[in-house]
């Protein structure tokens, strides 16, 4: 079975939790594509060379989830050659036998426009900043400023900007619990499977 679930959206909207939950429920492999950009940003040096030489071990660093790593990731993610270096791996992961869930910013638009299920998960910036702040602590106003700046950089870049695919199901988690969002996502996937489109 070749079956791809593309889950895009801004930071801290709930993509990661939803992706992991539906991957487990439907027995699909999962790739957090943000981790690729975080690992490139964390390597330092020339980002294009870092992307070309990326290895699975680079994804195991324990400092990739920090706010600083997210910030560095969004800076290298604007470089077209960095994105090109990471495309093939993501495309192969998406269409390999067995089915996959990928979450990121450009999965439904660039990496896998043919995905059988596309979701765009979002929430207001203050709500996303509050969730992130609960994880990382520090000054909440500063976390909000970083979230807004990262959204801007991701949405305004020329190559593969963060945008919902025209056929994506929009999931706004501002006032929705993440478990309700997981159920909505699971229902959308089940419908496609039951219609035999998978």
Are 36 and 58 within 8 A, CB to CB?
no
- How many residues in the shown chain lie near ligand C5P by CB under 6 A? 14
Give the footprint of ligand C5P on residues 72-101 (CB under 6 A): 73-74, 77
CB of 87 to ligand C5P, least distance (A): 10
Instruction: Find how far residue 92's CA is from the centre of its chain.
Output: 16
DSSP string, the chain: ---EEEEE-STTSSHHHHHHHHHHHHT-EEEETHHHHHHHHHH-S-HHHHHHT--GGGGG-TTTTSHHHHHHHHHHTT-HHHHHHHHHHHHHHHHSTT-EEEEESSIIIII-TT-SEEEEEE--HHHHHHHHHHHH-S-HHHHHHHHHHHHHHHHH-SSS-S---TTPEEEE-SSS-HHHHHHHHHHHHHHHHHTT--
CB of 180 to ligand C5P, least distance (A): 21
Sign of CA dihedral 86, 83, 156, 94: negative
14 scored as a contact of ligand C5P (CB under 6 A): no
38, 118, 128, 132: residue in contact with ligand C5P (rule CB under 6 A):
38
Task: Give the contact letters, 109-148, x = binds to ligand C5P (CB under 6 A), - = no.
Answer: ----------------------------------------
Are 126 and 144 within 8 A, CB to CB?
yes
70 scored as a contact of ligand C5P (CB under 6 A): yes
CB of 12 to ligand C5P, least distance (A): 8
Comparison of 75 and 190: residue with beta carbon closer to ligand C5P: 75
37, 93, 120, 133: residue in contact with ligand C5P (rule CB under 6 A):
37
Task: Give the contact letters, 152-191, x = binds to ligand C5P (CB under 6 A), - = no.
Answer: --x-------------------------------------
CB of 132 to ligand C5P, least distance (A): 9
Write out the residues near ligand C5P by the rule CB under 6 A: 11, 33-34, 37-38, 70, 73-74, 77, 104-106, 150, 154
């Amino acid at each position: 079975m070749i079956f791809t679930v593309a889950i895009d959206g801004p930071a801290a909207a709930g993509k990661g939790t939803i992706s992991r939950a539906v991957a487990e429920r439907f027995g699909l492999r999962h790739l957090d594509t943000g981790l690729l950009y975080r690992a490139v940003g964390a390597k330092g040096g020339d980002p294009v060379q870092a992307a070309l030489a990326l290895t699975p071990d680079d994804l195991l660093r324990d400092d990739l989830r920090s706010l600083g790593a997210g910030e560095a990731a969004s800076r290298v993610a604007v470089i077209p050659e960095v994105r090109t270096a990471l495309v093939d791996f993501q495309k192969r992961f998406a269409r390999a036998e067995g089915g996959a869930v990928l979450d990121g910013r450009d999965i439904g638009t660039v990496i896998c426009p043919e995905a059988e299920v596309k979701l765009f998960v979002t929430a207001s910036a203050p709500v996303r900043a509050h969730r992130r702040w609960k994880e990382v602590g520090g000054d909440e106003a500063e976390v909000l400023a970083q979230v807004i700046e990262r959204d801007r950089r991701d949405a305004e870049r020329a190559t593969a900007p963060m945008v919902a695919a025209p056929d994506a199901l929009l999931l706004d988690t501002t006032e929705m619990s993440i478990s309700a969002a997981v159920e909505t996502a699971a229902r959308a996937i089940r419908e496609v499977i039951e219609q035999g489109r998978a």
